Amino acid sequence: MPDVSDFILKLQRRRIEGSHATARQTAELLRSVVSQTRMPYTNQAASLLDAVRAVGEQLIAANPVELAVGNIVRRVLHIIREEDLSSSAVSFEGLMISEKSDDEDDADQKGGPVLSAAAVAAAARSTLRPRSLQTLLEDGPLPAAPSKSSSAGDSEGKSKSDKSAVGKRLKHSVIEAINLLIEEIDDCYEDISEQAVEHIHQNEVILTLGRSKTVKEFLYAAKQKNRSFRVFVAEGAPRYQGHVLAKELIQKGLETTVITDSAIFAMISRVNMVIVGAHAIMANGGVIAPVGMNMLALAAQRHAVPFVVVAGSHKLCPLYPHNPEVLLNELKSPSDLIDFGEFSDCMDFGAHGGAPLMHVVNPTFDYVPPNLVSLFITDTGGHNAAHMYKLIADYYSADDLVIKRKSTSSN
Amino acid sequence: MDLRRPNRPVIGPKVRQVGFVTPDSAAATSSSSIPAVSAAAAASAGSPPSSLSPVMIPPPRHPSTEMSNPHFHPVGSYNPSEQILGSPPALSPSRSSRFDADGSDFGGDDDESVALSGVGGGMTPKSSLLMCQPVTKTAPLVSETRKRDSNASKGKGEGPSAAPKEKLTKAERRATQEAQRAAKAAAKEAAAAGGAPSVSKQPKPATKPATQQKKDIPSGSGPLQPLAPSGSIEKKQGKKEVAAPHPRMQFDDMTKVGKLKKRAVVNQSEARNRVELFRHLPQYEHGTQLPDLESKFFQLDLIHPSVYQVGLQFLSDKISGGNARCIAMLLAFKEVIQDYTTPPEKTLTRDLGAKVGSCVSFLIECRPLSVSMGNAIRFLKNRISSLPHNLSDKEAKSRLQSDIDRFINEKIIIASKAIVEHGVSKIRDGDVLLTYGSPSVVESIFAYAHGIKKNFRVVVVDSRPKHEGQGLLRRLVERGIHCTYTHLNAVSYVMHEVTRVFLGASSVLSNGTVYSRVGTACVAMVAHAFRVPVLVCCEAYKFHERVQLDSICSNELGDPDAISKVSGRKDLNYLDGWAQNENIQLLNLKYDATPSDYVSVLVTEQGMLPPTSVPVIIREYGIERLWT
């Protein structure tokens, strides 16, 4: 598939900036993957899962730091499981279950995030979970596929014509659901910024660092509700996206003060609330965020200033971080920090036994541990850091957490 | 405090001085004769017998010092070496007066003298009033010195202006002096009556001593006047009242700003988008003053060219860093003193003090003083005012110049050597040392440690907009030290591997707060969070008895345009033309205050101390430091 390799190249070369764009494009790509997958007569869900997983593995490998890719791949896998479950449930005659799946379909159609998430979670808990647990015990690393095949096998046993209809319906409904997912990714700003007025009061002083579109929309929304407040923007070296944000904010008439990152500690004592965006939210409630955020969070904690992270649900990552400062980080070019021409003589590899005396470190991300975060605001409302794992369980199925090992074992 | 006040005029400076001007042995015996003082205290006080002798117990700065006095002596005794550096016994008589003078003068350097600089510090009018009597007595002496001056000062600065006045007779001169004094006194009283209510910020403690002095001094001082340098007497009176540091200039106080504007040499235009939170600080448009000032070069006859040069260098940030600025200023003052000749009808102590005061206020206009500079100025003014009257101009000048040299040498150069030795003892092989910005002392610690073949690595953390760390990085790499360079935001990334954090300080305040280059607090905070020890290296002459809790009440603002432009990044032009939009402000803070709990240890030439010991150092060596 040409667009897959194209997208992989883009990811590898870091051409796609921001988790929102990445998430959206990943979802679109997976939609086309799903639609182009040839459906076999038997075991359709498993073949879909395999196809998506194979592509997903390559995408994740292309940019392992961009966690949104993995999130979306897992979301799509979860969607396939859910749809398969509901379609097979429909093919059964059990009244309770079909009702439940109708309910779930409705919720998905509406795209109401809270309801759908809750319903999906309920469905997953009532039907999927016991079976997958059982298979987990039986089959170890291959839990999902056999369960799917058994359910598909059941429906296959009924009649062939019925089965092919179910197959078409499965693919169709998966694509529908992915469309909803894309819609949800696009709409997350609105859902989040709707909550702005609940958190920003009159005359508030808000500090943010760098630029996040979510934060911008959040502040805009509060401004539109005629709250007047003041924003300090830390510029966020070395990308200086804070300048962009400041420019955007003043266009909406927000009173904005740009400060250097070094002045964060000095200014935070006069700030009522810190609102920042995130790169990804890990399952433990820790946040992967643009560099400098840990410093800001520590300063906020010191002065007991609420540290609020706003992020769309596509940034929720079901993985637990281990040594995230190093493993989920990316070192960029030193040219952001120093001038090559000026320091070229210091970077001479020949001079000091092969290793230069000077190293320049330019990391992209920071890890903010969950205890420093006061509140997460996602499109499903506000959450505590300790509650993130539960939220994540609603969006992902436990079988998909490890995509790579799964596919290597199946290959 | 109030209880003590009535006593002081009685004990008075004269009584003490009579006691001490007689041989030093008297002081020693008197100290041993008082049982209340512990033996240790006496011993510690021994080397400069005056410093802690019971009669001379340094007046408490706060009411609470009485309570802590017992604790005061042991602390002094643990560093006898410092006392050797300290004042020679011969200087003891006016010690206490010095002490007070610094209190009053210091406020002056920072802001007060901006308002009062024309007359050379807040005390001048009073002193001139009080001097009526003694001047008549010492008139022959003055005339003698003046003759010598006029001979010595051919062709120098004030030579021509002094020449015509020489022809006046003594009587005429006296008459004019009396008239001037009367005028000044009248003006002062008018100001006290009319000015005080209008200027709401007028500090209470400052006004009280003024009235008190007027009453006290004429009564007792007449006969004793020739014995004691008159300049120190009335200053001694104000000592305890001025114990608290003067409030700084608040730039949101319109009346004071108006006064300041009138006498300002540098015409700074106010920045358009001022940050509301920092109304109390001067927010000028940067880059506008320089051409203006350059054109004024030939009109500024009051300002000595070397001071002028240093001022311009401050203004254009050619010289930065606490030590560098302080040394540059002192060297400029040295030249001022070199070229100084006492005008005919004036005394050197007062006139030179005024001259230095006007130079200082010029420097303040160029850039607000750092605490280190304030302390140095305090020192210099004390030296000037404590000069014996019978010195010839030449002697006085050479004495002052050697004083300045000694200050630079002992308080800055030798002190930083001592700090280097202390600091190096905390570097082990395999350490990864982090520093922020470009502190000069820390740099020499690294250089020295590298010189003695310690094996370590340095992480240089830098920040916008000045990127001072790049200079440090270059110098360290040239020495062959392994360096890692990064920006402030990445400090939590590099902190994992760091074993020690070495920071510099612009000053250390009495509550342990470290006032330093903006961003230092962030580094210290992150280090604290990662359980990495933070060593703040700072010479003791940068300590100050002021206290501060946040970085907002007193700070310095840099050029906001430096924020909108990112050097080497032409593509970042989002904030071009920001001044047109009234909704946006750019804030370029220069300093921040690091809370003392982030500081593991303060490395000073006195040793390594916890930040809680800062007030002790200030009290013990604050006096002494003015005496070196």
Which of A155-169, A352-366, B416-430 has the least mean pLDDT?
A: A155-169
List of residues 6+ apart from B50 with CB closer than 8 A: B20, B24, B27, B56, B87, B89, B91, B92, B93, B95
Lowest-confidence range among A69-73, A185-189, B212-216, B514-518?
B212-216
B553 touches chain A (CB under 8 A): no
What is the SS3 assignment for B553?
coil
What is the distance of C-alpha B14 from the center of its chain? 28
**Residue from the list A238, A257, A361 with its beta carbon closest to the beta carbon of B493:** A361
- Helix, strand or coil for residue B275? coil
Q: What's the length of chain B?
A: 628
Give CA A119 to chain center in angstroms.
Answer: 20
- B 438-497: CB under 8 A from A: 462-465, 470, 473-474, 477-478, 480-494, 496
Alpha carbons A77 and A178: distance in angstroms, whole number: 10
Flag whether residue A243 sits within 8 Å of chain B, measured between CB atoms.
Answer: yes
Give the model confidence (pLDDT) of B148-182 as tens digits.
Answer: 444 444 444 444 444 444 455 565 666 666 666 66
pLDDT band at A363 (very low <50, low <70, confident <90, very high): very high
Strands A205-209 and B534-537: unpaired
Helix A67-91, helix A144-158: angle, nearest 10: 30
pLDDT for the residue numbered B351: 86
Q: Is the pTM of this model over 0.80?
A: no
CA distances from residue B283 to A231, A262, B280, B359 in whole angstroms, order as listed: 20, 19, 9, 22
Mean pLDDT of all residues belonging to chain B: 70
Find, in chain A, the residue whose alpha carbon is nearest to that of B564. Answer: A243
Question: Is B575 within 8 Å of A247 when comparing Cβ atoms?
Answer: yes
Are A31 and A134 spatial neighbours (Cβ–Cβ below 8 Å)? no
Q: What is the 3-state secondary structure (H, E, C) of A10-38?
A: HHHCCCCCCHHHHHHHHHHHHHHHHHHCC
pLDDT at position B364, please? 87
Does the beta-carbon distance from A243 to B575 stay under 8 Å?
Answer: yes
List, in order, residues 6 or more apart from B344 with CB less than 8 Å away: B146, B149, B150, B162, B165, B166, B173
Closest Cα of chain B to A176: distance in Å?
A: 41
Alpha helices (H) along B518-608? 520-529, 561-564
- Strands annotated E in A126-243: 205-209, 230-234
- A134-138, A223-227, A303-307: range with highest mean pLDDT: A303-307
Q: What is residue B490's predicted lDDT score, i.e. its pLDDT? A: 94
Report the complex ipTM.
0.82
**Angstrom distance (rounded) from CA B263 to CA B195:** 18
The DSSP secondary-structure symbol of B247 reads: P
Triad B30, B101, B507: Cα angle to 5°: 105
Q: Yes or no: say if A82 and A177 are a contact pair by the CB < 8 Å rule.
A: yes
Predicted pLDDT at A340: 79
Residue B120: per-residue pLDDT: 38
Distance from CA of B441 to the nearest CA of A (A): 21
pLDDT band for position A160 (cuts 50, 70, 90): low
Q: Is the model more confident about B266 or about A377?
A: A377
Please state the length of chain A.
Answer: 411
Collect all residues with Cβ–Cβ distance below 8 Å to A138 and sequence separation of at least 6. A146
